[in-house]
Structure 1
Amino acid sequence: MEKAREILVIGGSRYFGKRLIARLLDAGDRVTVLNRGSSAPPPGADHLIADRDDEASLKRALGSGMFDVVVDQVCYTPRQAAIARRVLAGRTRRYVMTSTVEVYEYEDSIAPVREDAVDPATVSVDLELPWDDPEFLDSHYGEGKRQAESVFAADAAFPFTAVRVAHVLGGADDFTGRLTYYADRIRTGEPVAVAVDNQPATYIHVEEIADFLAWTVGQDFTGPVNAASHGLLSTEELCEAVAAHLPDGKAVLQQVEVGEVSPFSFARSYGMDNSRATRLGFAFGHVRRWLPRAVAETLGKDV
């Protein structure tokens, strides 16, 4: 009988993280979840409590623990990456960091971007920036992820991969409120503000990204990899999908040159090329096939 894998998941208490943990447990893995103690892991997983920003706290919690794979769901800054790299060096055979499409925020390409558009080895790291300031971190989300990737890539403490996740949709537990934002405006007839040169983006269903991360745990590739369903969606198509689930729903889009725009309105393309993951063996679905279900799940409607 094959020995169960030892998996450490840092974070992962909600949304696609908890779905990932469920998949790993169903596969027979021994899963340890590390978080600050604000929520218990699913039944069957072990639980460690630590502040990942506190190196001593992280060391104490891990003790002598050794892991086949670490999945880091909540690494947002290069400081967090540096601590994790020091503490977990020699403790794992593979490190998977959940990254984001936002690492491409400076790329200006109409075509879906490939992983080599942002090479972690060439990204400068500044540990002295105010990463502990929530307001700074929120406004530098993509930069924090980009620099975190760079910290891991700069030192071969363990084989490392960064899963660059497209915008995630679906699930009744979608805490972002982005689709409900559209639903609220469509119900009331309020306009949806979009950029003048509004561009499409790639997306992924909450169940599909959980599948992808669970699959990645069992692979041995390294480096960044894009995780996105096939196809692009515009803000208008998202609004149409939401309106289809509302009585007499009709979206009114209003172009704005200055000021705040709606979620999923982008002045530049946020499309990711998923061909590397496809070549490695993962089969993505098409966004237009699962979009109606994702909207229904989020709004609590029947498909």
Structure 2
Amino acid sequence: MRLLTLGGTEFVGRAVTDAALKRGWEVTVFHRGRHAPPPGVTALTGDRTTGAPGLAALAEDGREWDLVVDTWSGAPAAVRDAARLLSGRAGHFSYVSSRSVYAYPAAAGLDEDGPLVAGASPDDGDVPYDRAKRGGELAALDAFGDRALLARAGLIIGPGENIGRLPWWLNRIARGGPVIAPGVPGTELQYIDARDLAGWLLDAAARGLHGAYNTVSRPGHATMGELLAACVAATGSDAELRWTDADILRAAGAEPWSDLPIWLPPGELYDTLHRGGHTKAHAAGLRCRPVGETVADTWSWLRALGGTAPWRPDRPAVGLAPELEAKLLAL
């Protein structure tokens, strides 16, 4: 198979590229040159945010591909321009979208037929994430029709994460001592390891699957308690998890998801992010590895980097501030 990854040097794009290389596929990476491309790929450089001029290297390259994978999360013009350029040169287009495209609040168990947000126009500039992702979906469908696959992921974690959620928990727990653990240990989580998402994308494209799929684990694939216990085990830390009621956390000013990454208390947002429908993708072969493996591999990757994970500058920093943690531990 001949794969073109639009991106391909960070997190999900890198996981896709690595998975394809392991399969012996011929891989081309089109990226902005901010990070070194993986060994073994053909690299093309350009900036999609500048429109057609930034796609010159891609336009001038005469090759064709069996599959394109696009992870773009900004204004949908970048998806539109690349998809139009490639529609006659690629057999299949997989767009890594998001379950954020469903109208909020998304009911627990909502499947791919649920109501959607309005997609941003490709000509819009700075738009909210949910509308940008839906706009990207529409652009992919417009260019590729039933040759387009929309992978609506939720929370994505694993080695290479450049958002900082699981890396924050690992680094904090590695420091040891008492650690604020939010809510109750049995809170069920829904997520996907980037490597499981990447493998499924390649399998699905090779089979010619198209349309929308919620690419997430089943709800409760792991619990918050199992995730944090896996962090303790992976780091070998003496950390003491102090489970703290959600009302106490909120009263002290600690915000779910941002201050305490991954965790959400029960409610509409929890149902939207941790209880999405998953059966279609699993029936199509999606398999999710145990949480302990994801956590251990992420810790190994972090240690190789000296503990400092890469961070996307377009995303806010996450994690509980030390002074707020001290305030909570003193309660």
1:23 equivalenced with 2:23 (yes/no): no
**Quick check: 1:34–1:49 contact (8 Å CA) kept in 2?**
yes
Superposed displacement of residue 273, structure 1:
2.3
1:134 aligned residue: none
Q: CA deviation at 1:61?
A: 0.8
Q: Distance in 2 between matches of 1:181 and 1:253?
A: 18
In the TM superposition, 1:134-173 aligns within 5 A as 140-154=128-142, 156=144, 159-171=147-159, 173=160
The unaligned stretches of length 5 or more in structure 1 are 132-136
Structure 2 residue matching 1:268: 3-state secondary structure = helix
Write out aligned runs for 1:1-303 (5 A): 5-62=1-58, 63=60, 64-104=62-102, 106-110=104-108, 112-118=109-115, 123-127=118-122, 129-131=124-126, 140-154=128-142, 156=144, 159-171=147-159, 173-183=160-170, 187-189=176-178, 191-192=180-181, 200-232=188-220, 233-245=222-234, 246-255=237-246, 256=250, 260-261=255-256, 262-266=260-264, 267-269=269-271, 270=273, 271-280=275-284, 282-285=285-288, 290-300=290-300
Contact 1:192/1:251 (<8 A) preserved: yes
Q: What is the letter of the counterpart of residue 60 of structure 1?
A: A
Query: Identity, % of aligned pairs?
Result: 24
RMSD over aligned Cα, in angstroms? Answer: 3.1
Secondary structure of the corresponding residue to residue 94 of structure 2 = strand
Q: 1:78·1:147 contact (CA, 8 Å) conserved in 2?
A: yes
Q: Give the superposition deviation at 1:92.
A: 1.5
Tell me: CA distance 1:158–1:129, structure 2 relative to 1, closer, same or farther (3 Å): same
Contact 2:55–2:82 (Cα < 8 Å) also in 1: no
Alpha-carbon distance, 1:11 to partner:
0.3
Question: Could you tell me how far 1:294 is from its partner in structure 2?
Answer: 2.0
- Partner-residue secondary structure (3-state), 1:76: coil
The alpha carbon displacement at 1:101 in A equals 2.8
| 8 Å CA contact retained: 2:118, 2:131 | no
How many corresponding residue pairs? 281
Q: Is the 8 A contact 2:48 2:55 kept in 1?
A: no
Distance 1:248 1:124 in 2: 45
**CA shift in 2, pair 1:295/1:27, >3 Å:** closer
Looking at structure 2, the residues matched to 59 and 89 of structure 1 have their Cα atoms a distance apart, in angstroms, of 14
Partners of 1:205 and 1:273 lie apart in 2 by: 17
Q: Which moved more, 1:26-35 or 1:226-235?
A: 226-235
SS in 2 for 1:65: coil
Cα deviation, residue 193, structure 1: 5.7
Kept after mapping to 2: 8 A contact 1:236/1:253: no
